Amino acid sequence: MSDAQDPDRLISLTTPVAAEDDARRLARDLAARRLAACVQLDRGLESHYRWQGQLCAEPELRLTVKTTARRLQAIEAFLAEHHPYQLPQLLWQPLSASTGYAAWVREQVGGAGEAGDVGNVGNVDGA
């Protein structure tokens, strides 16, 4: 199996939202469901795009989700149901990380066959 197909490979997924309440809700729920080890919120973005024939410019927040490839399909399904946008941008890429941080991410999101304990969701400095 190539490194890119490794289900335990760390990935970073980003998606924007317009409202801080939505960003906080998604971040909390992704972490609580152990779909993400950490979700960071970046404020102060402005997106320029074409939507339904109109040029748009809107303020947004970006969520950066740290997880493993094993959780990607579940994250996509979760965001399809809970993201406030009709067609949310979901971009992901493989990550390289320190051994300790990578182990922490894998521990937080669990491995194959784990039910996804939603208890004891804590904060890790620098996550």
Q: Tell me the CATH number at 41.
A: 3.30.70.120
- 118 belongs to a structural domain: no
Q: What's the pLDDT score for residue 18?
A: 97
Tell me, what's the pLDDT at 111? 62
> Does residue 127 sit within a domain?
no
Question: Is 71 among the domain residues?
Answer: yes
Q: Consecutive sets of 10 residues in the chain, 127 residues long: mean pLDDT of each? A: 73 98 98 98 96 96 98 97 97 96 96 42 38
pLDDT of residue 125: 36
Q: Point out which residues pair with 10 in neighbouring strands.
A: 68
Q: What is the pTM of this model?
A: 0.83
Has residue 123 been placed in a domain?
Answer: no
Using CA atoms of 60, 91, 83, 68 in order, give the dihedral in degrees to the nearest 10.
-120
How many structural domains comprise the chain?
Answer: 1
Question: Domain range holding 14?
Answer: 3-109
Is position 28 within any domain? yes
In a domain, 115, yes or no: no
pLDDT given at position 80: 97
